[in-house]
Chain A
Amino acid sequence: MGTRTEVLVIGGGSTGCGVVRDLARRGVDVTLVEKGNLTNGTTGRMHGLLHSGGRYAVSDQASARECIEENRVLRDIAGHCVEETGGLFVKRPEDDEAYFQEKLQGCRDCDIPAEVLTGAEAREREPYLAHDVEKAIAVPDAAIDPFRLCVANAVDAEDHGARIETHAEVTDLIVEAGEIVGATVRHESGKGPREHGIPGETEDIYADHVVNAAGAWAGRIGDFADLDVAVRPSKGVMTVMNTRQVDTVVNRCRPKGDADIVVPHETACILGTTDEEVGDPEDYPEEEWEVDLVIDTLSELVPILQEARTIRSFWGVRPLYEPPGTGTQDPTDITRDYFTLDHAERDGVPGMTSIVGGKLTTYRMMAESITDHVCEKLGVEAACDTADVPLPGSERPGDIEAAMERFGLRSPVARRSAQRLGSRTEDVLASCDPNPVVCSCEGVTRAEVQDAIDQAGTDLNAVRLRTRASMGNCQGGRCAHRMAAELHPEHDEASARAALDELRAERWKGQRHALWGEQLSQAMLNHALHGATLNEDGDPARTNTTVAWDAFDDGAGAEDENATEATDASDTEGAHGD
């Protein structure tokens, strides 16, 4: 016995979330399945740049035009996910002047607002730019929170009747008489939000049409029906700094190359990146040279990066695609454009369309295009409105100030909450009184954590992505156990403990790439807190060991505490009988 839906979307990245929102808003019954958290694959593992299009203004003007168009749309519909940082294309003395001029002309050709700044003007805007930076082109690049964006799309889809299943991995496509009619899905812990301790189950989901939006994993989905979807995953490193050395997106103005962008993001800056084709999107080396390369190369633009503290590094894989036979050798040369593969037309296997390639900035446009395609197949005539209707959280920008007034949180904390929650600020903060801070690095309060738990179940990594709790300098060293405590008593102690250990492991994974200087000191402090003060490594409940309790000091034989209790440190000379 299976379940039925009109359209099954595979993949909870920006494309899948965009498609599920668009379909749901057009009245289509749609289900989205994602094997991890939303943004688990590529979307959650990028630097968070909302392109102005400037980056493609020389090499790919069609993409550049799409970028600036969607850049404007997202500022409108997703204001609470976007920070309007602006961007600079910075030229150093050794960078080619002719390319600088081409870049400027390209921006103008593509209607990307572009203004030339002298080196002095650029440094006035960004004081840490190198003193020998000659000039720069200012463009409307921005920073975007991909997770917040995807969650907002998913929430809007749910509000329009969609079903969203995370931690639900497609293990097979169901093919009947040469046609794809659905997928077999493995739920890690039952249907609905993830719950530790609940056994997994399998579900067959039948659909009139399947959309393969699995990004770098799209080839694997294709394999289930012997379809060749030749995605070429390419890895890149992102190194997270502990503070914002720049408040503007800083790009190197040269044709192409590794390590050419710094994106300010919330409390941090993210340095990127490298570009190396990998065989397996889940199993590839995360290498020391990549971290060194981004720090050393970007220090040419922003010299203080050389000695600054990094708190972790992470890697993502681009889901690059090029039509069969193109044969590009260098992954940096593969187009960033997207392709819709109708398997009925292409392979004679009806029932599924794959969407591959593309980039976050144009996710909505991609989603609109594939939704049009699917609606045509289904005979649905409703029009797309996703470019005009704000996402949940971005509807009423004016509400934020009012909410900050009402909630007597220290104002920096309230401001941070409001930035994350947008027009949901008041609803969320009103749900919890008192509302203590859980994560002090990022200023995340109990109300936000509880709100995220309502959405995400016991998955603290999903709570982290929704709230930013545990993403600051201490990398959860001081707050992860507080986040876990928020699960209890709705969820039992064993679940809270399993969720904590999972979050700790995830935080450690990225920090390994930042273990020198202050972050190595931080890691040692965390090690001491977790290993000694909390003794999580020796915890009998975790190690499943039986303790011979009566072999240890039970207090018998010590002085009777109550007899000496009146003495206080400050009121006594103590006993100094050397």
Chain B
Amino acid sequence: MAIEDDVLVVGGGVAGMTAALAAAEAGASVRLVTKSQSTLRHASGLVDVLGYADGDLLADPFAALDDLPADHPYAKVGVEAVRDGLARFDAVTGERYRGGHTDRNALLPTHGGAVKPTARYPASAAAGLASDERDALLVGFETLSDFDAPLAADHLRAADVPFDVRGATVSFPGTPRADAKVTRYAHALDGNDDEERERLAARVARVHDGEPRVGFPAVLGEAHPGDVRATLADALDADVFEVPMGPPSLPGIRLEADYERALREAGVNVVRRPVVDYEADGEHLTAAVVERNGQHVPHHAESFVLATGGLVGEGIDSDRGGVREPVFDCHVPHPADRYDWFVDERFGEQPYPRFGVVVDDDLRPRDAEGRIEFENLRAAGSVVGGADFAAECSGMGVSLATGDAAGSAAGADTQ
């Protein structure tokens, strides 16, 4: 039986899921094909819109969007698409995310002790805002080497945060194996089989000196983070917050669960298999070919969204000879000599983070001569070139804006 939908989205990250939701809202039947887990668990779970322009820290990202260069993805879709993308994110996450009450960026402590600008943050991190002047205690676990609370506290003081902050290290109840994954801590607190929450609170109480807020590494539960925080907060009589961490990231994993639920509710059909080829009639894509148990199965649609991610998500691939987009073979501009893909200074103006397909204002990829690659293909998220999301702190924001725009347009085309 032929597989046929209005919209086919390739890629299961935030951009792809956002595009699928937007297309479904427009009334389209939508299928999303993704070959692997999304890279959300690699990300901190924060939603950055724009933290820096020309190296300057921005308090209001929206004021700076109009000044971005013409090849920046935000410049392609415009500021309203950014707001639409955020609105869709807010709808998916509801009360579990904060920041929507203001256009201003928030500054959150990082697990290394720096601060970073972001537009939306998990409710679990809300009490940790660096512009909040209440004193804070940071608590780390002896066996969790990714977050050294006394060091992070000293670092925050070196950054001259407007509050006093102190760090302490405690042993986690039950002494996890020395090389336990961070999810072990979360699951122990979720299950609370041996009263891990209460025992942890008791250990923290011994080092807590009345600070009105207490921060922990972001491992406070996967399924029941609110309950975990509430227990700790009650016992300590303080607000409790999480400090976002690197992979695997519990806030990222929780966010993934939120999106999966939203996709289910929107009736999006999710297929977890790789796309290995495509079928086209001239400049009109007719199918993405999916590998299923060794068989090549065409998935037909009227409109397609490419949201396979950037270099991390393998939406952009490279070898010594060049850089390419492997699914639809869209043009990816890059210097011929691979020694021009980078600059020597690590945080200099790096070319490689900006690698990606070139799109027009309707997010349709263009070939080397500027012609549309396929009339019914749009691109969204990190597969679109032109932005260094890490340097400018625009990660997730670009995916939300372009995902929303591409999905809405794809959905509208089919209705």
Q: Which residues of A come within 8 Å of B, CB atoms?
A: 288, 292, 295, 307, 409-410, 413, 434-438, 440, 445-446, 478, 481-482, 484-486, 488-489, 492-494, 496-497, 504-505, 508, 512, 515-517, 520-521, 523-525, 527-542, 545-555, 557-559, 561-562, 564-572, 574-578
Contacts and interface: CB of A to CB of B under 8 A. Distances in A.
A505 B144 CA distance: 25
Interface string B10-47: 00000000000000010000000000000000111000
Contacts of B113: 493, 541
A434 B99 contact: no
Given A409-B179, A549-B162, A569-B223, A520 B318 contact: yes
B94 A572 contact: yes
Contacts of B110: 533-535
B224 A540 contact: no
Contacts of A436: 142-145, 178-179
Q: How large is the interface on B (under 10, 10 to 19, 20 to 34, 35 or more residues)?
A: 35 or more
Contacts of B59: 548, 551-552
25 contacts: A295-B320, A434-B178, A436-B178, A488-B148, A489-B151, A515-B338, A517-B318, A520-B318, A521-B312, A523-B311, A528-B312, A531-B347, A532-B116, A534-B110, A534-B114, A537-B347, A538-B116, A546-B160, A547-B115, A549-B162, A550-B162, A552-B106, A554-B131, A561-B98, A569-B258
Given A435-B178, A520-B352, A568-B224, A488 B106 contact: no
A413 B105 CA distance: 43
Contacts of A551: 59, 104
Nearest to A479: B145
Contacts of A568: 223-227
A481 B110 CA distance: 12
Interface stretch (B1-9, B299-307, B388-396): B388-396
A561 B311 CA distance: 37
Contact of B230 (A539, A566, A575): A566
B215 to A, nearest CB: 14
B376 to A, nearest CB: 25
Contacts of A516: 318-320, 338, 341
Given A534-B112, A554-B132, A561-B126, 16 more contacts: A292-B320, A409-B179, A434-B178, A497-B158, A523-B311, A525-B312, A533-B44, A533-B111, A533-B246, A538-B51, A538-B52, A539-B112, A548-B59, A558-B126, A565-B123, A569-B254
Contacts of A536: 112, 114, 347
A534 B42 CA distance: 13
Contacts of B200: none
Interface of B: 25, 42-44, 48, 51-52, 57, 59, 88, 91-96, 98-99, 101-102, 104-107, 110-117, 123, 126-127, 129-133, 142-146, 148, 150-151, 154-155, 157-162, 171, 175, 177-179, 223-227, 229-230, 233, 239, 244-247, 254, 257-258, 261-262, 265, 310-312, 314, 317-320, 337-339, 341-342, 344, 346-347, 350, 352-353, 388-391, 393, 395
Contacts of A520: 311, 318, 341, 352
Given A512-B342, A512-B344, A549-B130, A533 B43 contact: yes
Contact of B223 (A484, A531, A570): A570
Contact of B226 (A512, A545, A550, A567): A567
Nearest to B321: A516
B92 A574 contact: yes
Nearest to B350: A527
A511 to B, nearest CB: 9
A188 to B, nearest CB: 22
A532 B395 contact: yes
A552 B130 contact: yes
A569 B247 CA distance: 20
B12 to A, nearest CB: 17
A502 to B, nearest CB: 12
B403 to A, nearest CB: 15
Which of A482, A485, A535 has the most C-beta atoms of chain B within 10 angstroms of its own C-beta?
A: A535
